[in-house]
Amino acid sequence: MVELLSASERDAVISPLLREHLEPLRLHEIARRRWIDGSRPPARRLFELQLLKGAALKACWGFSLDFVPHISGGTTRWHRSDKTAMLDIIVDPKALPQPSYLYGTGRLRADLVALLPVAVAAAQRDWERGSTYEGMLTIIRDIREQQTNCFGFRNYTQLPLASVFLLVKTGKLAMAERELEQHMAGDWLKEAAAQKLRQLLHESAGPV
């Protein structure tokens, strides 16, 4: 029977379950359904339950990287604090079930009890894999080549930028420049922002 939960009813079920699984891993809640460990910048571990159409939720996780910019309002900006962190490297597995809050609290709780142990264990594995910049690049490469996320690689605006700036961090400037130009192809980005990204890329590489 349909019993759509209000936002407060939904989050009253979600919050304690996330706390149970994520507090022992040293993550803390920064917003509803968003948890972070910002103790080791420039990489911050993130875990989120994102809202979907149709009263569903999906689990995503990964890293927010202080040295990766984002584009907002046609200009480059930074997200270098726990409060502003965003998923630059986003693991968004299409194989995971998506809990529903359309059928009351009991159904939502059961869905989350089934999902969270699996999702959090997978997140822990990816956080361990991403303990180095090379490891982070491996995660991104797997997402791109194995198409494990819900959407295509370039549907995530931050994944290509994370790849580009991680390539620089691992000494692969020429490859990073090629990937950045591919990412900026077309007319979606203002020229001033494109030039700024090129500048930031070279600044990230350090002196030649």
- Give tens-digit pLDDT for 94-145: 999 999 999 999 999 999 999 999 999 999 999 999 999 999 999 999 999 9
- pLDDT given at position 205: 81
List the one residue out of 21, 26, 76, 90 whose CA is nearest residue 201: 76
**Position 188 in a domain:** no
What is 114-181 written as a DSSP string?
A: HHHHHHHHHHHHHHHHTTSHHHHHHHHHHHHHH--BSS-GGGSSHHHHHHHHHHHHTT-HHHHHHHHH
**Does residue 185 lie within any of the structural domains?**
no
Q: What does DSSP say about strands 56-65 and 89-91: parallel, antiparallel, or unpaired?
A: antiparallel
Do the domain assignments include residue 201? Answer: no
Q: What is the mean pLDDT of the chain?
A: 95
What are residue 156's phi and psi, to 5 degrees?
Answer: -100, 110
- Residue 94 belongs to some domain of the structure: yes
Whole-angstrom distance, CA of residue 70 vs CA of residue 190:
13
Burial class (CB in 10 A: 0-12, 13-18, 19+), 161: buried
Question: What's the one-letter identity of residue 97?
Answer: P
- Torsion sign across C-alpha atoms 167, 44, 73, 151: positive
pLDDT of residue 51 exceeding 70: yes
pLDDT tens-digit series, residues 141-178 = 999 999 999 999 999 999 999 999 999 999 999 999 99
Positive or negative, the CA dihedral 37, 29, 150, 189 is negative
- In a domain? residue 37: yes
Please tell me the total count of domains within the chain: 1
In this predicted structure, the answer to whether residue 208 has a pLDDT above a threshold of 60 is no
Helices (H) and strands (E) in the chain, counts: 6, 7
Q: For residue 182, is it within any domain?
A: no
- Backbone dihedral angles phi then psi of residue 33, each to the nearest 5 degrees: 70, 15
The residue-averaged pLDDT of 21-45 equals 97
Structural domain including 61 reads 7-153
- Whether 160 is in a domain gets the answer no
Query: CA nearest 119: which of 22, 12, 40?
Result: 22
| 89 located within any domain | yes
pLDDT, tens only, 173-194 = 999 999 999 999 888 888 999 9
